[in-house]
Chains A and B, each alone.
Chain A
């Protein structure tokens, strides 16, 4: 079991490292086409990464070891999440199941690393981005936990792989009202967590409105490359989780070459579809004011709570 899980984890990490930049490239391309621009092509994020890795990183005087360590911590936390989550298959390590709370706290480790990075250089923009980032992260937390709690009730386990397996065996569960409400809430949380519109605009050039970008302003060279790759992987993993929960078909329940190939193709298709859809929706959205974001998150929390209530009080009584 553990050997199979190790193979799966390695495959997931490799596939996600390859796919995530392409996913971001696809989303940018869709957006560009819908806005009437030619776009840079879906390979552009990969070309950016290669360029950044070959460049010399600059470090401001007075910054600490954190400026060097934080990008690596973010990348490692994202890779760890990719290794643990049920993206290609649902085989888990016996001693290390992909428990929801563990996955979330590993993600938060990356969040904290970037927030500290924003404070390290002692610039106004960095602090501003860090403060906003942590405020949003704090308010997203209840939605994430309560919505996955709703999904875990019928399965009786908070292990994501078990939840996905249960949905694969009994597809009727996916269309249950509790499940749909929970997935909707989770989607809003993922959008907020990965800094997409309408919470944060990843393409902005105006510092005053930045959240994520403001924290990484001082980073350059390979530091920036790790930060970019880390946040792309996070986007890829979370969208992958959403698609595994919504359309679990194609995911491998055991580890074999054929099953993994099928799962890789299925994941690619799912990610492309979800990414294109998200990008298309984003075109029609404007970034909301920072102080309106809590309203959005409160709304998603209510959805998640309704999902729990629905799974307890409506379906089973």
Chain B
């Protein structure tokens, strides 16, 4: 047995142990037991994944009595990369959960957490469609249980969980159909035999579309993203972090599995489809995020944006491979993995930060936060670093990933293919606008929540979370910075995971892209910045000695005095110009109610402002669909009126129908 096989089996055993521990442990120790079990499980996942990326191979058979052939778990480079990412997120989230859930945790919740984490770690290890779907469904069920954690306390949890369960089952059915088609063509459920299928056939294309839609549903791609902005706000924050930073990535893994391993070299329109899906998701997601004022809803939409960028990167890679531009194509696909790693790091940080804020203030609404930086310094620092990453600013992980994506786009275009020549600049523009809006979104999120003065009693009385929460946030924020400063290592691992050359590490662990002739060395950039900072700080300190800073009530304030914190800009007002600019796409509903004083209609007593933003896709697409389904259901009820005579009649008619069919 190789080390990798041992790692795979250890994960299976550790899932069982952690779940069992959570069941058996006394109530006071339950959280700690489950969390320690989850961390051990995650450690096994990280090590197994690292070995797999390093080139170790192994196969663990799952014995079945179904005669399906080789059903089991296998270590692959691509799967190993995702296993490391998912397990890393899981470990941090489990540590956070110790303090966040606290004594209020239920046994069900603590059992579901390691099961969820373990299933996610084993999805990328699946060697065949059966074990893949098994793990996929286990992951879906465990996460639904976790979304329902606060079922008893908040009314909106039920609706959100229903949406989530519905969409996740849709995803399962689509993937099942897609794998079914591939298995029928290949004659076996194992991925190894599916890889021999000719991707040029129509049935391969149908399977590709089904699988892509299935994985896109899990990944939160527009228009299948509707569960994200509902499930994330109601799930406990550590669960939101895992779902957003790890689970949706498995949708990306699925797309990579299909397009690189199972059906490599598909036609160009596959890539174009992924690119278009990604571009629409990226823009729509960030636009909704930029006007959202619920912090977790904002982060959920930002996930749609980031996954959109990943799809865009994969699509670009496939499209460029189809028109034989290998260098930039490899960079594009490697940049997808860089986006995966960076998003996992900063989205974990941001969701845990949001969780810490929720824990301290009871608020998810940005409009009621403010001044948290002074009251929660650790959360503020971690969330700030995460926000820098999400806004793709140097020197964070997000910046490096977007830089690599842009490099592949601008070097990818070839004038001889008109389609590519048009697609690449459009993609550049989409990435640029997305980056710009992300910048605004995260300045809003950080500035409104952590700066200025508290806008509610909850924000005034905020306090820092427990040690475990702080440690988890600091670790994930540290990873965001580390991946941004020394991205070369991740780039090499990513290149190895997808088996491409032309992406590597150079200098002080900078990213080198010889495939497109570009290089980025964040350490060098930081060094130059430090050289510049020194004289500026020197002059500042000299000046500060002569003229120290003086604290005043308010330096200027437009000539007035500060009356009420309500006079500050809120998240809603911050995004108002943008909501106006994109009025047609967002369709906000605004209501302004003015009450005049009884003495004169020229004097205003009070003004009320309501703004309501619904997801346009949900309103325009899903509501009519659901109404239609409801009607069909009501109509079907007429068939069943409880009369035994009618049921006997149905049986008779069915029998006649069968006989007629047989006779024909």
Contact = CB atoms under 8 A, between A and B. Distances in A.
Interface stretch (B116-124, B245-253, B369-377): B369-377
B392 interface: yes
Given A95-B510, A130-B569, A119 B581 contact: no
Interface in B470-491: none
B40 interface: no
A72 B536 contact: yes
Interface stretch (B133-141, B403-411, B592-600, B612-620): B403-411
A120 B411 CA distance: 41
A38 interface: no
B502 to A, nearest CB: 15
B547 A56 contact: yes
11 contacts: A59-B551, A76-B529, A76-B536, A99-B403, A99-B518, A106-B525, A116-B451, A134-B443, A153-B410, A158-B410, A291-B577
Interface stretch (A135-143, A248-256, A266-274): A135-143
Lowest 4 A-B CB distances belong to which pairs?
Answer: A127-B569, A141-B436, A122-B452, A138-B436
Interface in B401-452: 402-403, 406-407, 410-411, 413, 415, 418, 421-422, 425, 428-429, 431-433, 435-437, 439-440, 443-444, 446-448, 450-452
B1 interface: no
A76 B526 CA distance: 11
A299 to B, nearest CB: 14
Interface core residue of A75, A83, A145, A221 (most chain B CB under 10 Å): A145
A266 to B, nearest CB: 24
Given A55-B547, A290-B577, 17 more contacts: A64-B451, A68-B549, A102-B403, A112-B391, A115-B443, A121-B554, A124-B569, A131-B574, A131-B577, A135-B577, A137-B440, A138-B440, A141-B433, A222-B544, A226-B540, A301-B429, A313-B418
Contacts of B537: 72
A127 B539 CA distance: 29
Contacts of A226: 536, 540
Interface residues of A, number: 87
B394 A106 contact: yes
Interface string B554-570: 11111000100101110
A83 B425 contact: no
A254 B316 CA distance: 38
B575 A131 contact: yes
Contacts of A218: 554-557
Interface residues of B, number: 88
A149 interface: yes
Contact of B568 (A57, A93, A122, A301): A122
Contacts of A125: 558
Interface string A91-113: 00101110101100110110110
Nearest to A150: B425
Contacts of B413: 153, 312
Interface in A274-293: 290-291
B507 interface: yes
Contact of B451 (A13, A66, A221): A66
A123 B566 CA distance: 10
A13 B432 CA distance: 28
Contacts of B524: 93, 95-96
A131 to B, nearest CB: 5
A69 to B, nearest CB: 10
B530 to A, nearest CB: 9
Contacts of A111: 439
Given A57-B550, A135-B577, A128 B569 contact: yes
A242 interface: no
A152 B518 CA distance: 13
A316 B415 contact: yes
Given A101-B406, A112-B391, A138 B433 contact: yes
Interface string A140-176: 1110111001001100111100000000000000000
A109 B394 contact: yes
Contacts of A48: none
Nearest to A131: B574
